[in-house]
A and B are shown apart, each in its own frame.
Chain A
Amino acid sequence: MNRALPVLTVLAGIIVLWYAAAVWMNATWVYDQAERAGTTVTLAEVIPQTMVQDRPLLPPPHQVGAEVWKGLFGQAVTSKRSLVYHAYITFKGTMMGFGLGIVFGVALAMAIVRFRVVDMSVMPWAVISQTIPIVALAPMIIVVSSQMGLTGRDLPKAIIAAYLSFFPVLVSMVKGLRSPDQMQLDLLKTYGAGEWATFLKLRLPASMPYFFASLKVAVAASLVGTIVGELPTGAIEGLGARMLIGSQFGEPLIMWAALFASAILAGLLIVAVGLVERFARARMGVPA
Protein backbone atom coordinates (compact mmCIF):
# COMPACT_ATOMS: atom_id res chain seq x y z
CA MET A 1 0.00 0.00 0.00
CA ASN A 2 2.82 2.36 0.86
CA ARG A 3 4.25 1.78 -2.59
CA ALA A 4 0.93 1.96 -4.43
CA LEU A 5 -0.17 5.29 -2.99
CA PRO A 6 2.37 7.56 -4.72
CA VAL A 7 1.83 5.75 -8.02
CA LEU A 8 -1.95 6.06 -7.74
CA THR A 9 -1.64 9.74 -6.83
CA VAL A 10 0.33 10.43 -9.99
CA LEU A 11 -2.15 8.34 -12.00
CA ALA A 12 -5.07 10.37 -10.67
CA GLY A 13 -3.21 13.57 -11.57
CA ILE A 14 -2.60 12.32 -15.11
CA ILE A 15 -6.27 11.38 -15.57
CA VAL A 16 -7.45 14.80 -14.38
CA LEU A 17 -5.03 16.56 -16.74
CA TRP A 18 -6.04 14.22 -19.54
CA TYR A 19 -9.75 14.96 -19.14
CA ALA A 20 -9.01 18.69 -19.04
CA ALA A 21 -6.92 18.42 -22.20
CA ALA A 22 -9.60 16.30 -23.91
CA VAL A 23 -12.28 18.91 -23.18
CA TRP A 24 -10.05 21.71 -24.38
CA MET A 25 -8.93 19.99 -27.60
CA ASN A 26 -12.21 18.36 -28.57
CA ALA A 27 -14.28 21.50 -27.85
CA THR A 28 -13.07 23.11 -31.09
CA TRP A 29 -14.99 20.54 -33.11
CA VAL A 30 -18.15 21.04 -31.04
CA TYR A 31 -18.00 24.85 -31.50
CA ASP A 32 -17.42 24.41 -35.26
CA GLN A 33 -20.43 22.12 -35.57
CA ALA A 34 -22.59 24.57 -33.67
CA GLU A 35 -21.44 27.47 -35.81
CA ARG A 36 -22.19 25.54 -38.98
CA ALA A 37 -25.65 24.70 -37.68
CA GLY A 38 -26.14 28.34 -36.77
CA THR A 39 -26.69 27.64 -33.09
CA THR A 40 -24.75 28.53 -29.99
CA VAL A 41 -23.71 26.17 -27.24
CA THR A 42 -22.93 26.82 -23.60
CA LEU A 43 -19.91 25.36 -21.87
CA ALA A 44 -22.18 23.00 -19.95
CA GLU A 45 -23.42 21.62 -23.26
CA VAL A 46 -19.95 21.43 -24.78
CA ILE A 47 -18.33 19.30 -22.11
CA PRO A 48 -20.51 16.18 -22.51
CA GLN A 49 -20.07 16.39 -26.28
CA THR A 50 -16.28 16.31 -25.97
CA MET A 51 -16.52 12.97 -24.24
CA VAL A 52 -18.30 10.89 -26.86
CA GLN A 53 -16.95 11.87 -30.28
CA ASP A 54 -16.18 9.18 -32.88
CA ARG A 55 -12.97 10.83 -34.01
CA PRO A 56 -11.79 13.01 -31.15
CA LEU A 57 -8.53 14.90 -31.40
CA LEU A 58 -7.70 13.52 -27.97
CA PRO A 59 -9.89 10.67 -26.81
CA PRO A 60 -10.69 10.91 -23.08
CA PRO A 61 -9.50 8.04 -20.84
CA HIS A 62 -12.85 6.23 -20.62
CA GLN A 63 -13.12 6.06 -24.44
CA VAL A 64 -9.60 4.66 -24.71
CA GLY A 65 -10.36 2.25 -21.89
CA ALA A 66 -13.52 1.06 -23.63
CA GLU A 67 -11.67 0.63 -26.92
CA VAL A 68 -8.88 -1.34 -25.26
CA TRP A 69 -11.46 -3.50 -23.51
CA LYS A 70 -13.31 -4.08 -26.77
CA GLY A 71 -10.03 -4.88 -28.53
CA LEU A 72 -8.99 -7.37 -25.86
CA PHE A 73 -12.26 -9.12 -25.07
CA GLY A 74 -14.73 -8.05 -27.79
CA GLN A 75 -13.93 -10.89 -30.17
CA ALA A 76 -12.07 -14.15 -30.52
CA VAL A 77 -8.35 -13.67 -29.89
CA THR A 78 -7.62 -15.00 -33.38
CA SER A 79 -9.64 -12.19 -35.03
CA LYS A 80 -7.73 -9.58 -37.01
CA ARG A 81 -9.52 -6.96 -34.92
CA SER A 82 -8.34 -8.41 -31.64
CA LEU A 83 -5.63 -6.51 -29.81
CA VAL A 84 -4.60 -9.82 -28.25
CA TYR A 85 -3.84 -11.14 -31.73
CA HIS A 86 -1.80 -8.10 -32.70
CA ALA A 87 -0.08 -7.98 -29.32
CA TYR A 88 0.88 -11.63 -29.78
CA ILE A 89 2.46 -10.86 -33.18
CA THR A 90 4.41 -8.01 -31.60
CA PHE A 91 5.30 -10.16 -28.59
CA LYS A 92 6.67 -12.85 -30.89
CA GLY A 93 8.83 -10.33 -32.74
CA THR A 94 9.98 -8.80 -29.47
CA MET A 95 11.06 -12.15 -28.07
CA MET A 96 12.94 -13.10 -31.23
CA GLY A 97 14.72 -9.76 -31.27
CA PHE A 98 15.36 -9.98 -27.53
CA GLY A 99 16.90 -13.43 -27.85
CA LEU A 100 18.97 -12.40 -30.85
CA GLY A 101 20.08 -9.22 -29.05
CA ILE A 102 21.14 -11.16 -25.95
CA VAL A 103 23.13 -13.70 -27.95
CA PHE A 104 24.78 -11.01 -30.03
CA GLY A 105 25.40 -8.66 -27.10
CA VAL A 106 26.88 -11.36 -24.86
CA ALA A 107 29.05 -12.81 -27.62
CA LEU A 108 30.38 -9.41 -28.57
CA ALA A 109 31.03 -8.54 -24.91
CA MET A 110 32.98 -11.79 -24.49
CA ALA A 111 35.10 -10.97 -27.52
CA ILE A 112 35.67 -7.40 -26.36
CA VAL A 113 36.76 -8.45 -22.89
CA ARG A 114 38.99 -11.19 -24.25
CA PHE A 115 40.61 -9.43 -27.19
CA ARG A 116 41.96 -5.93 -26.89
CA VAL A 117 41.85 -5.62 -30.67
CA VAL A 118 38.10 -6.20 -30.71
CA ASP A 119 37.66 -3.74 -27.87
CA MET A 120 39.47 -1.03 -29.77
CA SER A 121 37.98 -1.75 -33.19
CA VAL A 122 34.40 -2.81 -32.53
CA MET A 123 33.32 -0.94 -29.40
CA PRO A 124 33.31 2.52 -31.03
CA TRP A 125 31.15 1.16 -33.86
CA ALA A 126 28.73 -0.39 -31.39
CA VAL A 127 28.32 3.05 -29.83
CA ILE A 128 27.93 4.75 -33.23
CA SER A 129 25.34 2.16 -34.27
CA GLN A 130 23.04 3.49 -31.56
CA THR A 131 23.20 7.08 -32.78
CA ILE A 132 21.51 6.19 -36.09
CA PRO A 133 17.75 6.70 -35.81
CA ILE A 134 16.12 3.30 -36.03
CA VAL A 135 13.17 4.81 -37.92
CA ALA A 136 15.55 5.58 -40.80
CA LEU A 137 17.22 2.21 -40.64
CA ALA A 138 14.17 -0.03 -40.30
CA PRO A 139 12.86 0.29 -43.91
CA MET A 140 16.37 -0.35 -45.23
CA ILE A 141 16.71 -3.54 -43.18
CA ILE A 142 13.34 -4.74 -44.48
CA VAL A 143 14.21 -3.98 -48.10
CA VAL A 144 17.65 -5.55 -47.88
CA SER A 145 16.37 -8.71 -46.22
CA SER A 146 13.66 -9.16 -48.87
CA GLN A 147 16.34 -8.62 -51.54
CA MET A 148 18.26 -11.44 -49.92
CA GLY A 149 15.27 -13.68 -50.42
CA LEU A 150 14.03 -13.70 -46.84
CA THR A 151 10.28 -13.89 -47.06
CA GLY A 152 8.02 -12.82 -44.26
CA ARG A 153 8.59 -10.00 -41.83
CA ASP A 154 9.55 -12.02 -38.78
CA LEU A 155 13.28 -12.01 -39.33
CA PRO A 156 13.75 -8.38 -40.40
CA LYS A 157 11.58 -7.33 -37.46
CA ALA A 158 13.71 -9.43 -35.13
CA ILE A 159 16.87 -7.89 -36.58
CA ILE A 160 15.55 -4.37 -36.00
CA ALA A 161 14.57 -5.30 -32.44
CA ALA A 162 17.95 -6.94 -31.85
CA TYR A 163 19.69 -3.85 -33.23
CA LEU A 164 18.24 -1.87 -30.34
CA SER A 165 18.37 -4.52 -27.63
CA PHE A 166 21.92 -5.83 -28.03
CA PHE A 167 23.46 -2.56 -26.95
CA PRO A 168 22.40 -2.38 -23.29
CA VAL A 169 23.34 -6.07 -22.95
CA LEU A 170 26.73 -5.43 -24.54
CA VAL A 171 27.61 -2.44 -22.36
CA SER A 172 26.50 -4.14 -19.14
CA MET A 173 28.21 -7.42 -19.94
CA VAL A 174 31.51 -5.72 -20.76
CA LYS A 175 31.32 -4.00 -17.38
CA GLY A 176 30.17 -7.20 -15.67
CA LEU A 177 32.81 -9.47 -17.18
CA ARG A 178 35.46 -6.96 -16.12
CA SER A 179 34.06 -6.56 -12.61
CA PRO A 180 36.23 -9.16 -10.79
CA ASP A 181 39.10 -7.36 -9.04
CA GLN A 182 42.79 -8.19 -9.25
CA MET A 183 42.73 -10.17 -6.00
CA GLN A 184 40.04 -12.51 -7.30
CA LEU A 185 41.96 -13.00 -10.53
CA ASP A 186 45.18 -13.64 -8.58
CA LEU A 187 43.40 -16.20 -6.45
CA LEU A 188 42.41 -18.19 -9.52
CA LYS A 189 45.95 -17.85 -10.84
CA THR A 190 47.27 -19.54 -7.69
CA TYR A 191 45.03 -22.50 -8.56
CA GLY A 192 46.59 -22.61 -12.01
CA ALA A 193 43.22 -21.82 -13.56
CA GLY A 194 43.20 -21.30 -17.31
CA GLU A 195 41.36 -18.61 -19.17
CA TRP A 196 38.28 -20.71 -19.76
CA ALA A 197 38.00 -21.72 -16.09
CA THR A 198 38.45 -18.08 -15.09
CA PHE A 199 35.63 -17.14 -17.42
CA LEU A 200 33.24 -19.86 -16.29
CA LYS A 201 33.96 -19.77 -12.56
CA LEU A 202 34.53 -16.08 -12.03
CA ARG A 203 33.82 -13.64 -14.85
CA LEU A 204 30.51 -15.09 -15.97
CA PRO A 205 28.86 -15.45 -12.55
CA ALA A 206 30.23 -12.05 -11.49
CA SER A 207 28.59 -10.45 -14.52
CA MET A 208 25.11 -11.81 -13.79
CA PRO A 209 23.81 -8.84 -11.75
CA TYR A 210 24.89 -6.54 -14.59
CA PHE A 211 23.27 -8.86 -17.10
CA PHE A 212 19.90 -8.87 -15.40
CA ALA A 213 19.95 -5.12 -14.91
CA SER A 214 20.46 -4.75 -18.66
CA LEU A 215 17.65 -7.17 -19.55
CA LYS A 216 14.91 -4.79 -18.42
CA VAL A 217 16.27 -2.06 -20.68
CA ALA A 218 16.87 -4.53 -23.49
CA VAL A 219 13.37 -6.00 -23.47
CA ALA A 220 11.81 -2.53 -23.61
CA ALA A 221 14.17 -1.54 -26.43
CA SER A 222 13.31 -4.75 -28.25
CA LEU A 223 9.59 -3.95 -28.04
CA VAL A 224 10.18 -0.45 -29.44
CA GLY A 225 12.29 -1.95 -32.22
CA THR A 226 9.59 -4.47 -33.11
CA ILE A 227 6.90 -1.81 -33.25
CA VAL A 228 9.09 0.39 -35.44
CA GLY A 229 9.71 -2.67 -37.62
CA GLU A 230 5.95 -3.07 -38.03
CA LEU A 231 5.44 0.48 -39.23
CA PRO A 232 6.97 0.72 -42.70
CA THR A 233 5.95 -0.72 -46.02
CA GLY A 234 2.53 -2.08 -45.52
CA ALA A 235 2.63 -4.36 -42.54
CA ILE A 236 -0.86 -5.36 -41.51
CA GLU A 237 -0.15 -7.29 -38.33
CA GLY A 238 1.17 -6.23 -34.96
CA LEU A 239 0.62 -3.28 -32.67
CA GLY A 240 2.85 -1.05 -34.80
CA ALA A 241 0.76 -1.73 -37.88
CA ARG A 242 -2.36 -1.08 -35.81
CA MET A 243 -1.03 2.32 -34.75
CA LEU A 244 -0.17 3.23 -38.32
CA ILE A 245 -3.62 2.13 -39.57
CA GLY A 246 -5.30 4.18 -36.86
CA SER A 247 -3.29 7.22 -37.81
CA GLN A 248 -3.69 6.80 -41.59
CA PHE A 249 -7.44 6.23 -41.48
CA GLY A 250 -8.05 8.99 -38.96
CA GLU A 251 -9.16 6.61 -36.23
CA PRO A 252 -7.51 7.98 -33.12
CA LEU A 253 -9.29 5.45 -30.92
CA ILE A 254 -7.58 2.56 -32.72
CA MET A 255 -4.25 4.32 -32.41
CA TRP A 256 -4.66 5.00 -28.73
CA ALA A 257 -5.90 1.51 -28.02
CA ALA A 258 -2.82 0.04 -29.76
CA LEU A 259 -0.62 2.45 -27.84
CA PHE A 260 -2.08 1.30 -24.56
CA ALA A 261 -1.89 -2.33 -25.56
CA SER A 262 1.83 -1.91 -26.22
CA ALA A 263 2.24 -0.14 -22.88
CA ILE A 264 0.52 -3.06 -21.15
CA LEU A 265 2.71 -5.50 -23.09
CA ALA A 266 5.84 -3.58 -22.08
CA GLY A 267 4.72 -3.66 -18.46
CA LEU A 268 4.13 -7.41 -18.57
CA LEU A 269 7.50 -8.04 -20.20
CA ILE A 270 9.34 -6.00 -17.60
CA VAL A 271 7.49 -7.77 -14.78
CA ALA A 272 8.38 -11.13 -16.35
CA VAL A 273 12.06 -10.18 -16.63
CA GLY A 274 11.92 -8.98 -13.02
CA LEU A 275 10.59 -12.38 -11.92
CA VAL A 276 13.35 -14.21 -13.79
CA GLU A 277 15.87 -11.90 -12.17
CA ARG A 278 14.45 -12.55 -8.70
CA PHE A 279 14.61 -16.27 -9.25
CA ALA A 280 18.20 -16.05 -10.46
CA ARG A 281 19.21 -13.82 -7.55
CA ALA A 282 17.71 -16.26 -5.08
CA ARG A 283 19.65 -19.07 -6.73
CA MET A 284 22.84 -17.03 -6.45
CA GLY A 285 22.37 -16.44 -2.74
CA VAL A 286 21.61 -12.73 -2.78
CA PRO A 287 19.85 -11.73 0.46
CA ALA A 288 16.18 -11.12 -0.33
Chain B
Amino acid sequence: MKDTLNPQPPVIEAQGLQLVFQTADGPVQALKDVNLVINRGDFVSFIGPSGCGKTTFLRAIAALEHPTGGTLTVNGMTPDEARRKRAYGYVFQAAGLYPWRTISGNIRLPLEIMGFSKAEQDSRVARVLDLVELSGFGKKFPWQLSGGMQQRASIARALAFDADILLMDEPFGALDEIVRDRLNEEVLKLWARTGKTIGFVTHSIPEAVYLSTKIVVMSPRPGRITDVIDSPLPKERPLDIRDSREFIEIAHRVREGLRAGHLDD
Protein backbone atom coordinates (compact mmCIF):
# COMPACT_ATOMS: atom_id res chain seq x y z
CA MET B 1 0.00 0.00 0.00
CA LYS B 2 2.92 2.27 0.85
CA ASP B 3 4.28 1.69 -2.63
CA THR B 4 1.11 2.88 -4.33
CA LEU B 5 0.87 5.99 -2.19
CA ASN B 6 4.46 6.97 -2.60
CA PRO B 7 5.74 5.18 -5.65
CA GLN B 8 9.51 5.11 -5.77
CA PRO B 9 10.87 5.33 -9.29
CA PRO B 10 13.12 2.42 -10.21
CA VAL B 11 16.85 3.02 -9.83
CA ILE B 12 17.72 1.15 -12.99
CA GLU B 13 15.30 0.38 -15.75
CA ALA B 14 16.08 -1.43 -19.00
CA GLN B 15 13.53 -1.87 -21.76
CA GLY B 16 14.19 -3.90 -24.88
CA LEU B 17 17.88 -3.25 -24.45
CA GLN B 18 20.09 -4.31 -27.37
CA LEU B 19 23.85 -4.13 -27.59
CA VAL B 20 25.75 -5.26 -30.66
CA PHE B 21 29.54 -5.21 -30.86
CA GLN B 22 31.09 -4.77 -34.28
CA THR B 23 34.05 -7.13 -34.41
CA ALA B 24 36.39 -8.30 -37.15
CA ASP B 25 34.31 -11.49 -37.39
CA GLY B 26 31.12 -9.51 -37.89
CA PRO B 27 28.54 -8.24 -35.42
CA VAL B 28 28.20 -9.97 -32.05
CA GLN B 29 24.93 -9.62 -30.18
CA ALA B 30 26.07 -9.10 -26.59
CA LEU B 31 22.61 -8.20 -25.26
CA LYS B 32 19.24 -9.00 -26.79
CA ASP B 33 15.92 -7.64 -25.62
CA VAL B 34 16.88 -7.17 -21.98
CA ASN B 35 14.05 -5.96 -19.73
CA LEU B 36 14.79 -5.40 -16.08
CA VAL B 37 13.74 -3.14 -13.21
CA ILE B 38 15.98 -2.63 -10.21
CA ASN B 39 14.50 -0.79 -7.23
CA ARG B 40 16.17 1.26 -4.55
CA GLY B 41 17.96 -0.90 -2.01
CA ASP B 42 17.90 -4.05 -4.15
CA PHE B 43 20.88 -6.37 -4.12
CA VAL B 44 20.85 -7.78 -7.64
CA SER B 45 23.14 -10.54 -8.83
CA PHE B 46 23.77 -11.27 -12.47
CA ILE B 47 24.76 -14.86 -13.05
CA GLY B 48 25.48 -16.84 -16.19
CA PRO B 49 28.24 -18.45 -18.21
CA SER B 50 30.87 -16.29 -19.87
CA GLY B 51 29.56 -14.49 -22.93
CA CYS B 52 26.06 -14.12 -21.49
CA GLY B 53 26.40 -10.35 -21.34
CA LYS B 54 26.28 -9.94 -17.55
CA THR B 55 29.40 -7.80 -17.47
CA THR B 56 28.31 -5.95 -20.61
CA PHE B 57 25.01 -5.09 -18.95
CA LEU B 58 26.79 -3.79 -15.85
CA ARG B 59 29.15 -1.77 -18.03
CA ALA B 60 26.19 -0.35 -19.95
CA ILE B 61 24.68 0.84 -16.67
CA ALA B 62 28.00 2.53 -15.92
CA ALA B 63 28.10 4.11 -19.40
CA LEU B 64 31.27 2.18 -20.22
CA GLU B 65 29.40 0.53 -23.11
CA HIS B 66 26.65 2.15 -25.12
CA PRO B 67 23.49 0.21 -26.05
CA THR B 68 22.60 0.03 -29.73
CA GLY B 69 18.87 -0.24 -29.08
CA GLY B 70 16.16 0.02 -26.43
CA THR B 71 16.25 2.29 -23.41
CA LEU B 72 18.28 2.22 -20.24
CA THR B 73 17.82 4.72 -17.42
CA VAL B 74 19.71 5.17 -14.17
CA ASN B 75 17.84 7.23 -11.57
CA GLY B 76 15.62 8.35 -14.44
CA MET B 77 18.56 9.70 -16.41
CA THR B 78 20.73 8.33 -19.19
CA PRO B 79 23.78 6.43 -17.89
CA ASP B 80 26.05 9.27 -19.07
CA GLU B 81 24.07 11.85 -17.11
CA ALA B 82 23.99 9.55 -14.10
CA ARG B 83 27.78 9.33 -14.21
CA ARG B 84 28.05 13.10 -14.12
CA LYS B 85 25.74 13.08 -11.07
CA ARG B 86 28.10 10.53 -9.45
CA ALA B 87 25.32 7.99 -9.28
CA TYR B 88 27.47 4.89 -9.03
CA GLY B 89 30.76 3.47 -7.81
CA TYR B 90 32.30 0.64 -9.80
CA VAL B 91 34.37 -2.24 -8.44
CA PHE B 92 36.33 -4.30 -10.96
CA GLN B 93 37.48 -7.90 -10.72
CA ALA B 94 41.02 -6.78 -9.93
CA ALA B 95 41.43 -4.27 -7.13
CA GLY B 96 43.43 -2.07 -9.53
CA LEU B 97 44.93 0.03 -6.77
CA TYR B 98 47.69 2.36 -7.91
CA PRO B 99 50.93 0.89 -6.59
CA TRP B 100 52.42 4.36 -6.20
CA ARG B 101 49.67 5.55 -3.89
CA THR B 102 49.02 4.51 -0.31
CA ILE B 103 45.66 2.94 0.54
CA SER B 104 44.43 6.36 1.66
CA GLY B 105 45.83 7.90 -1.48
CA ASN B 106 43.99 5.38 -3.62
CA ILE B 107 40.68 6.06 -1.91
CA ARG B 108 41.37 9.76 -2.26
CA LEU B 109 41.76 9.41 -6.05
CA PRO B 110 38.10 9.82 -7.07
CA LEU B 111 37.70 12.60 -4.50
CA GLU B 112 40.63 14.52 -5.99
CA ILE B 113 39.20 14.16 -9.48
CA MET B 114 35.76 15.26 -8.35
CA GLY B 115 37.23 18.26 -6.59
CA PHE B 116 36.39 17.64 -2.95
CA SER B 117 38.17 19.92 -0.48
CA LYS B 118 41.19 18.58 1.36
CA ALA B 119 39.42 18.41 4.71
CA GLU B 120 36.41 16.72 3.12
CA GLN B 121 38.74 14.19 1.46
CA ASP B 122 40.37 13.34 4.79
CA SER B 123 37.10 12.79 6.62
CA ARG B 124 35.63 10.70 3.81
CA VAL B 125 38.74 8.52 3.53
CA ALA B 126 38.65 7.90 7.28
CA ARG B 127 34.95 7.06 7.14
CA VAL B 128 35.11 4.53 4.28
CA LEU B 129 38.27 2.93 5.66
CA ASP B 130 36.31 2.31 8.81
CA LEU B 131 33.37 1.01 6.78
CA VAL B 132 35.47 -1.73 5.15
CA GLU B 133 37.39 -2.35 8.38
CA LEU B 134 40.72 -1.13 7.09
CA SER B 135 41.28 1.64 9.64
CA GLY B 136 44.96 1.76 10.46
CA PHE B 137 46.00 0.57 6.99
CA GLY B 138 45.66 3.96 5.30
CA LYS B 139 49.39 4.64 5.21
CA LYS B 140 50.27 1.20 3.82
CA PHE B 141 51.04 0.65 0.16
CA PRO B 142 48.92 -1.88 -1.76
CA TRP B 143 51.69 -4.51 -1.96
CA GLN B 144 51.75 -4.63 1.82
CA LEU B 145 48.13 -5.86 1.90
CA SER B 146 46.63 -9.27 1.08
CA GLY B 147 44.45 -9.72 -2.00
CA GLY B 148 41.26 -9.64 0.06
CA MET B 149 42.30 -6.44 1.84
CA GLN B 150 43.18 -4.85 -1.49
CA GLN B 151 39.72 -5.65 -2.82
CA ARG B 152 38.17 -4.16 0.33
CA ALA B 153 40.21 -1.02 -0.28
CA SER B 154 38.88 -0.86 -3.83
CA ILE B 155 35.32 -1.14 -2.46
CA ALA B 156 36.12 1.71 -0.08
CA ARG B 157 37.33 3.72 -3.07
CA ALA B 158 33.99 3.12 -4.83
CA LEU B 159 32.09 4.17 -1.70
CA ALA B 160 34.13 7.30 -0.99
CA PHE B 161 32.00 9.71 -3.03
CA ASP B 162 28.64 8.48 -1.72
CA ALA B 163 27.16 7.04 -4.89
CA ASP B 164 23.74 5.44 -4.37
CA ILE B 165 24.56 2.54 -6.63
CA LEU B 166 27.45 0.15 -6.24
CA LEU B 167 28.29 -1.89 -9.34
CA MET B 168 30.57 -4.85 -8.72
CA ASP B 169 31.97 -6.95 -11.54
CA GLU B 170 33.06 -10.31 -10.11
CA PRO B 171 34.85 -8.49 -7.31
CA PHE B 172 35.86 -11.64 -5.47
CA GLY B 173 36.41 -13.88 -8.50
CA ALA B 174 40.17 -13.94 -8.04
CA LEU B 175 40.13 -14.68 -4.31
CA ASP B 176 40.11 -18.03 -2.54
CA GLU B 177 36.87 -19.36 -1.12
CA ILE B 178 37.58 -18.68 2.55
CA VAL B 179 38.40 -15.03 1.91
CA ARG B 180 35.44 -14.81 -0.44
CA ASP B 181 33.02 -16.05 2.26
CA ARG B 182 34.23 -13.40 4.66
CA LEU B 183 34.01 -10.62 2.11
CA ASN B 184 30.51 -11.75 1.12
CA GLU B 185 29.46 -11.40 4.75
CA GLU B 186 31.06 -7.97 4.90
CA VAL B 187 29.38 -6.83 1.71
CA LEU B 188 26.01 -7.82 3.18
CA LYS B 189 26.78 -5.87 6.35
CA LEU B 190 27.87 -2.91 4.28
CA TRP B 191 24.70 -3.10 2.23
CA ALA B 192 22.55 -3.26 5.36
CA ARG B 193 24.33 -0.28 6.87
CA THR B 194 24.39 1.95 3.81
CA GLY B 195 21.14 0.96 2.07
CA LYS B 196 22.80 1.19 -1.33
CA THR B 197 21.53 -0.45 -4.47
CA ILE B 198 24.04 -3.09 -5.52
CA GLY B 199 24.56 -4.74 -8.90
CA PHE B 200 26.80 -7.75 -8.54
CA VAL B 201 28.17 -9.90 -11.37
CA THR B 202 29.23 -13.40 -10.41
CA HIS B 203 29.55 -16.90 -11.82
CA SER B 204 29.13 -18.57 -8.45
CA ILE B 205 25.61 -19.85 -7.67
CA PRO B 206 26.07 -19.93 -3.86
CA GLU B 207 27.46 -16.40 -3.93
CA ALA B 208 24.52 -15.12 -5.96
CA VAL B 209 21.93 -16.82 -3.76
CA TYR B 210 23.63 -15.84 -0.51
CA LEU B 211 23.91 -12.16 -1.37
CA SER B 212 20.92 -11.21 -3.46
CA THR B 213 17.38 -10.04 -3.07
CA LYS B 214 17.04 -10.52 -6.81
CA ILE B 215 18.92 -12.99 -9.00
CA VAL B 216 19.10 -12.38 -12.73
CA VAL B 217 19.97 -15.55 -14.65
CA MET B 218 21.44 -14.92 -18.08
CA SER B 219 22.47 -17.07 -21.02
CA PRO B 220 24.79 -16.51 -23.96
CA ARG B 221 24.55 -16.21 -27.77
CA PRO B 222 22.78 -13.85 -27.81
CA GLY B 223 23.16 -12.49 -24.26
CA ARG B 224 19.72 -12.42 -22.66
CA ILE B 225 17.84 -12.82 -19.39
CA THR B 226 16.31 -16.28 -18.90
CA ASP B 227 15.00 -15.94 -15.35
CA VAL B 228 14.61 -13.33 -12.63
CA ILE B 229 14.28 -14.76 -9.12
CA ASP B 230 13.12 -12.69 -6.16
CA SER B 231 14.77 -14.24 -3.16
CA PRO B 232 12.50 -15.08 -0.18
CA LEU B 233 15.52 -15.21 2.13
CA PRO B 234 15.45 -12.75 5.07
CA LYS B 235 17.69 -9.70 4.98
CA GLU B 236 19.65 -11.00 7.94
CA ARG B 237 21.81 -13.81 6.56
CA PRO B 238 24.30 -15.74 8.64
CA LEU B 239 26.71 -17.91 6.62
CA ASP B 240 24.94 -21.13 7.66
CA ILE B 241 21.79 -20.00 5.90
CA ARG B 242 23.40 -21.73 2.96
CA ASP B 243 22.43 -25.09 4.48
CA SER B 244 18.74 -24.15 4.75
CA ARG B 245 16.08 -25.70 2.53
CA GLU B 246 15.06 -22.35 1.02
CA PHE B 247 18.61 -21.57 0.06
CA ILE B 248 19.02 -24.93 -1.65
CA GLU B 249 15.72 -24.51 -3.48
CA ILE B 250 16.73 -21.13 -4.88
CA ALA B 251 20.14 -22.46 -5.86
CA HIS B 252 18.35 -25.31 -7.63
CA ARG B 253 16.16 -22.88 -9.54
CA VAL B 254 19.19 -20.83 -10.58
CA ARG B 255 20.87 -24.01 -11.80
CA GLU B 256 17.76 -24.96 -13.76
CA GLY B 257 17.68 -21.51 -15.30
CA LEU B 258 21.30 -21.77 -16.37
CA ARG B 259 20.67 -25.21 -17.85
CA ALA B 260 17.60 -24.02 -19.72
CA GLY B 261 19.69 -21.28 -21.27
CA HIS B 262 22.04 -23.87 -22.62
CA LEU B 263 19.28 -26.08 -24.04
CA ASP B 264 18.42 -23.28 -26.44
CA ASP B 265 21.85 -23.47 -28.06
Q: In whole Å, how far is A187's beta carbon from the nearest beta carbon of chain B?
A: 6
Given contacts A191-B114, A192-B114, A287-B143, contact A184 B64 (CB under 8 A): no
Given contacts A201-B109, A201-B113, A285-B102, contact A190 B96 (CB under 8 A): no
Cα separation A197 to B109 with both chains bound (whole Å): 10
**Quick check: B88 and A190 within 8 Å, CB to CB?**
yes
Per-residue A-contact encoding for B56-100, CB less than 8 Å = 1, 0 else: 000100111000000000000000000110101110111010111
8 Å CB contact of A183 from B89, B92, B109, B141: B92
**Quick check: B112 and A284 within 8 Å, CB to CB?**
no
**Quick check: A192 and B113 within 8 Å, CB to CB?**
yes
**Quick check: B94 and A205 within 8 Å, CB to CB?**
no
Interface flag for B110 (CB, 8 Å): yes
Interface flag for A62 (CB, 8 Å): no
Number of A-B contacts defined by CB within 8 Å:
55
Interface centre among A188, A191, A192, A205 (most CB of B within 10 A): A191
Given contacts A190-B83, A190-B88, contact A183 B94 (CB under 8 A): yes
Chain A residues whose C-beta falls within 8 Å of the C-beta of B84 in the assembled complex: 192
**Quick check: A189 and B113 within 8 Å, CB to CB?**
no
Cα separation A208 to B98 with both chains bound (whole Å): 13
**Quick check: B96 and A187 within 8 Å, CB to CB?**
yes
Per-residue A-contact encoding for B221-237, CB less than 8 Å = 1, 0 else: 00000000000000000
Chain A residues whose C-beta falls within 8 Å of the C-beta of B83 in the assembled complex: 190, 192
**Quick check: A187 and B113 within 8 Å, CB to CB?**
no
**Quick check: B141 and A285 within 8 Å, CB to CB?**
yes
Question: CB within 8 Å of A: which of B16-72?
Answer: 59, 62-64
Interface flag for A186 (CB, 8 Å): yes
Interface flag for B189 (CB, 8 Å): no
**Quick check: B99 and A186 within 8 Å, CB to CB?**
no
Interface flag for A193 (CB, 8 Å): yes
Interface flag for B203 (CB, 8 Å): no
**Quick check: A193 and B99 within 8 Å, CB to CB?**
no
Interface flag for B127 (CB, 8 Å): no
Chain A residues whose C-beta falls within 8 Å of the C-beta of B59 in the assembled complex: 186
Number of interface residues of B (CB under 8 A): 28
Cα separation A206 to B99 with both chains bound (whole Å): 9
Q: In whole Å, how far is B77's beta carbon from the nearest beta carbon of chain A?
A: 14
Question: CB within 8 Å of B: which of A185-214?
Answer: 186-193, 197, 201-202, 205-206, 208
Given contacts A189-B64, A191-B114, A192-B83, contact A205 B98 (CB under 8 A): yes
Chain B residues whose C-beta falls within 8 Å of the C-beta of A202 in the assembled complex: 98
Interface flag for B101 (CB, 8 Å): yes
**Quick check: A186 and B113 within 8 Å, CB to CB?**
no
Per-residue B-contact encoding for A245-281, CB less than 8 Å = 1, 0 else: 0000000000000000000000000000000000000
22 contacts between A and B (CB under 8 A): A183-B92, A183-B94, A186-B59, A186-B92, A187-B92, A189-B64, A190-B64, A190-B88, A190-B89, A191-B109, A191-B110, A192-B113, A192-B114, A193-B113, A202-B98, A285-B99, A285-B100, A285-B101, A285-B141, A285-B142, A285-B143, A286-B99
7 closest cross-chain pairs (CB), A and B: A285-B141, A284-B100, A190-B90, A191-B110, A193-B113, A191-B113, A205-B100
